[in-house]
Amino acid sequence: MKKKIVSVLLTATMAVSLLAGCGSSAAPAADTGAAPAEEAAEAPAEDAAPAEEAADSGEAADSAAASGDNSLTVWAWDANFNIPALQAAADDYKANVDDTFVLNIEEQSQSSDVENAITLAGSSGDYSQLPDIVLFQDHYIQRYVADYPDAWVDVDDADVDWSDFGEEKLSYSTIGGKHYGFPVDNGTAIFAYRVDLLEEAGYTIDDMTDCTWEKFIEVGEKVYEKTGKYLLSMDGDGNDLFYLMLQAEGQSQFKDGQPYITENETLVEIVNIIHEMCEKNVCYLANDWSDYTDQTIMGDMVAGVMNGNWIIPTIRQVAENSGKWEITNIPTIKGGGGYAANGGSSLYVTSNCKNPELAKKFLAYTFGGSTETYDNALRNGGVVTCCISAGKSDVYNEGVEYFNNTPIYAQIVEMGGHVPVVEQSDFHYTARQYLAAAMININNGADVMSELQNAEDQLKFEMEGAAQ
């Protein structure tokens, strides 16, 4: 794999427009090559580095600090999204804290490169090849900290107001009561609507705010009748609807570490709602990710899009629809406004960091709450802050022309503070796989409970196998 080294000493700019912020036709960060769940079981925590290696690492850190080395190396993926955010942080720190600081950004091709490197290092008990800092997916970090505890440095003593971040976002990186990560990108879900098409059907964005799924289906039928467009679509193969709709209800597909499917009355109701939406031409389940983004969204088949806010650059690919979109929260079964998140990552300090105090100071100053870092990360890469106070800046409160001049980024940060914390699992994506297959079969006429029982049985079998 070819790596690209970027430092704050380079003069070439990495600025890109928000239009290309997340890579419009690619899967989101949460889905880019995630490591299989089985990998965690291959190397137990006993493989951690011996005590003498940890001592050697500490001596190296002391030596680096004493020598005045003000450089750090970080691994991250996505040249159009995460990399510009890191560059914004490096520029901010260099300009306002230490003009000798250098951040070397080693670009990985995908998130699984980082996961595989941690697995390899943990399996061998040799962390010497790891960088100072890594970007890591939220949905996987708890597993990796549990399996390789000696790979990480907790950042509990960093100078950060943790209460300035949404509880749901912090729930991933807070492990055993200690903070391990610095949140980067905000995965808060949005529901974006074509307000011109709603108006054609006799509705407004206010009708969709805090609405019930029953009302949503009513509006969706009318929109399809008047415009021929679906009010919602999703990748049917990697179906995130179950998770998003469940989290908006404050629930999960897991309970006490086990699959919670057939006995989860809310999940069963959600499956029936999705089936009804598909039957009534309110929701279109695409064949795959490309069909979802390229055909349904950029192909202008829909009047509504619900997903993590990283979907915004994909929506904006259709230039002629500028000014016709607005965003709001997610419908719920009983109404009253739902909130969820999908995807996202945070930055972690590794045990091989040559100067962990510098790493914590750098990350605390920048991603811990710097308005300058987050403003430029938004401008240059489309990365939306998880820091509530940073989301109140003038940049975040600017109206966005494509979204009818509404301040959508301030809205997203505010909504992120309402996302409920639900039980997570290392088998999040495995559950999605089996539920997606069940939904396809249900839409083809199969019995709902039989399909959900089959999904639950397969998920249990895979989880039990990984635990052996």
Residue with tokens 């749901």: 168
User: Residue ranges per domain, the chain?
Assistant: 4-187+343-395, 189-340+421-467
SS3 255: strand
Number of H helices, E strands in the chain: 18, 15
**Is 293:24 a contact under the CB 8 Å cutoff?**
yes
Residue 249 CA to residue 272 CA, distance in Å, equals: 15
Token pair in block for residue 235: 């990748």
For 189-340+421-467, give the CATH class: alpha beta
Per-residue tokens: 176 = 């055993």
Please indicate whether the domains covering 4-187+343-395 and 189-340+421-467 agree at the CATH topology level.
yes
pTM of the model: 0.81
CATH number of 4-187+343-395: 3.40.190.10
Local confidence pLDDT in tens for the 468 residues of the chain: 333 333 333 323 333 333 233 333 333 333 323 333 333 333 323 333 333 333 344 444 444 444 458 999 999 999 989 999 999 999 999 999 999 999 999 999 999 999 999 999 999 999 999 999 999 999 889 989 999 999 999 999 999 999 999 999 999 999 999 999 999 999 999 999 999 999 999 999 999 999 999 999 999 999 999 999 999 999 999 999 999 999 999 999 999 999 999 999 999 999 999 999 999 999 999 999 999 999 999 999 999 999 999 899 899 999 999 999 999 999 999 999 999 999 889 999 999 999 999 999 999 999 999 999 999 999 998 999 999 999 999 999 999 999 999 999 999 999 999 999 999 998 999 999 999 999 999 999 999 999 999 999 999 999 999 887
Going along 266-403, which residue ranges are E strands?
A: 283-286, 304-308, 325-328, 345-349
Strand 189-194 relative to strand 325-328: parallel, antiparallel, unpaired? antiparallel
Distances 410 to 364, 381, 389, 406 between C-alpha atoms, Å: 22, 16, 10, 9
DSSP string computed for 301-325: -BSEEEEEGGGHHHHTT-GGGTT-E
Angle between the 213-227 and 265-279 helix axes, to the nearest 10 degrees? 10
